[in-house]
Amino acid sequence: MMRILIIEDDLEAAEAMARGLSEAGYDCSHAADGAAGLAEAQKRGFDVLIVDRMMPKMNGVEVVSTLRREGDATPVLFLSALGEVADRVDGLQAGADDYLVKPYAFPELIARVEALSRRRETGAVATTLKVGELEMNLIARTVHRGASEIDLQPREFQLLEFMMRHAGQSVTRTMLLEKVWEYHFDPQTNVIDVHISRLRSKIDKGFDRQMLQTVRGAGYRLDP
């Protein structure tokens, strides 16, 4: 069973996180401040560390920086309400492997923890996706087409990430509802059409070639 250490000073948030992760099959431990978290992490034996940025006694950046100086390569996921690009960059430069901004969707937390565990097992750290002129940085949460940076809302980012992972393939509405919106039924709304339209205007506007295409009777395709 995978062992996770949660270093979080908000007791209610930590308990909710630990409960959800335990229900998903993980063995969770908790430290209520940075200094206690560092001491627990130094005992080793954890598969993933989930670390809050702002904590008493020692902040998350100091905790992770100290562990990395000591040669501890345990995968680290930062959780923080600080979501600006500079904040994420600071966290990653301190040695974190991933960065999730609060408030977050719990299924995304689970997915990121699973991804970190796979990286540790395989030694592979894939941080970018590239399809044609489009490049997505999964850590900094940025997207560029050529030299142009594209500003996406969180759901648009998720939608584009899914399309990029299935580039060249026809993606159905059902696939998008299940994998991006986590609906296991069709709510009979035009939410997908609206988001596809917005995404298309952002990644294709001003370019000669249209990458996000509608496949009649099938769905959509990101053409590399």
Residue-level pLDDT at 121: 58
Give the residue, 166 or 203, on which the prediction is more confident: 203
Instruction: State the CB neighbour count (10 A cutoff) for residue 190.
Output: 9
Q: Which of 138, 158, 136 minimizes the C-alpha distance to 149?
A: 136
Instruction: Write the CB contacts of 205 (distance below 8 Å, at least 6 apart in sequence).
Output: none
Return residue ranges of the chain for CATH 3.40.50.2300.
3-122
Pair 64, 35: CB distance under 8 Å: no
Instruction: State the CB neighbour count (10 A cutoff) for residue 173.
Output: 15
Q: Which of 36, 40, 32, 34 minimizes the C-alpha distance to 4?
A: 40
Give the three-state DSSP class for 200. Answer: helix
Return residue ranges of the chain for CATH 1.10.10.10.
128-222
pTM beyond 0.85: no
Q: What mean pLDDT value characterizes the chain?
A: 86
Give the separation between CA 32 and CA 51, rounded to whole angstroms: 10
Give the separation between CA 170 and CA 160, rounded to whole angstroms: 14
Checking if the pLDDT of 8 tops 60, the result is yes
Prior bond of 224 cis (ω within 30°): no
Q: Looking at domain 3-122, does it have CATH number 3.40.50.2300?
A: yes
Q: Encoding tokens for residue 28?
A: 């969770």
Residue-level pLDDT at 91: 79
Pair 119, 125: CB distance under 8 Å: yes
Checking if the pLDDT of 143 tops 70, the result is yes
CATH class assigned to 128-222: mainly alpha
Residue-level pLDDT at 156: 92
Segment 35-71, tens digit of pLDDT: 999 999 988 778 899 999 888 888 989 999 898 888 7
Mean pLDDT for 179-184 is: 80
Checking if the pLDDT of 221 tops 80, the result is yes
Mean pLDDT for 143-163 is: 91
Give the separation between CA 41 and CA 99, rounded to whole angstroms: 18
Residue-level pLDDT at 101: 86
Segment 71-120, tens digit of pLDDT: 788 899 998 888 677 777 777 888 888 888 888 888 888 888 888 887 66
Residues recorded for the chain = 224
